[in-house]
Amino acid sequence: MGWQDEWENVCGVFSQWVKFDGRNDLGSEILNCPGIYAVAIVEGRGISGEPFTLIEQIAYFGMTNAQNGLAGRLNAFNNTLRDVNGPGHGGAERFRYGVEGGEAIESLANKLYVAVRPYKCDVTSIAAEDLKTMGDVVRAEYLAFAAYANQFKRLPQYNDKRRSPKCKVSLQQA
């Protein structure tokens, strides 16, 4: 099986697109799992409820194998994006770079959509099957990068460290 076939298998289990601020509607059964996620910036009518597809508006792919799952990672993304205390997220620092003030951040946040691809496993286990699944999560993120770069001839904007520096200053400090 080639990497494109592997990617198609990954795509088939993604959630539908939801507004980033409505991510909890995906449910704890999905969000408590490790997995990968795509964040898209979409102007206009939006893409809520649409099936996941590889679209050029995807600005970031991320992954987690942490105990608190996709929910914890997406909450960390939200904390950093909105300059809220709590666990931080390096990718969200890239979204904030060049965006001035709380109103501009909220305007950006209102354009964000997320789709997730959960993987069921026990991230605290050393069982071979759980460890293999955690490796599958990491591989899926790189398959996402490969598929995106293959189709659009670049990485998503905020996965490209050369094009997107991190915002290091808290909005509260500015």
Residue 174 lies in a domain: no
By CB neighbour count within 10 A (0-12 exposed, 13-18 middle, 19+ buried), where does 158 fall? buried
Would you state the pLDDT for residue 168?
Answer: 60
Residue 168 lies in a domain: no
Would you state the pLDDT for residue 97?
Answer: 80
pLDDT in tens, 93-127: 888 887 777 788 899 999 999 999 999 999 999 99
- Give the pLDDT band of residue 174 (cuts 50, 70, 90): very low
pLDDT in tens, 51-67: 999 999 999 999 999 99
Residue 162 lies in a domain: no
Do the bridges between strand 58-64 and strand 35-41 make them parallel or antiparallel, or are there none, so unpaired?
antiparallel
Residue 166 lies in a domain: no
81-90, 130-139, 149-158 — which is least confidently predicted? Answer: 81-90
Q: Are 81 and 105 in contact (CB under 8 A)?
A: yes
3-class state of residue 28 by DSSP: helix
The full 3-state SS of 1-16, as one line of letters, equals CCHHHHHHHHHCCCCC
Residue 131 lies in a domain: yes
Residue 167 lies in a domain: no
pLDDT in tens, 10-19: 888 999 999 9
Residue 32 lies in a domain: yes
Domain hosting residue 122, numbered range: 3-153
Number of domains present in the structure of the chain: 1
Q: What are phi and psi of 31, to 5 degrees?
A: -75, -20
pLDDT in tens, 123-135: 999 999 999 999 9
Question: Taking the CA atoms of the chain, what radius of gyration do you get in angstroms?
Answer: 16
Computed over every residue of the chain, the mean pLDDT equals 91
Q: Token digits for 168?
A: 């290091």
Q: Token digits for 2?
A: 């080639």
Residue 141 lies in a domain: yes
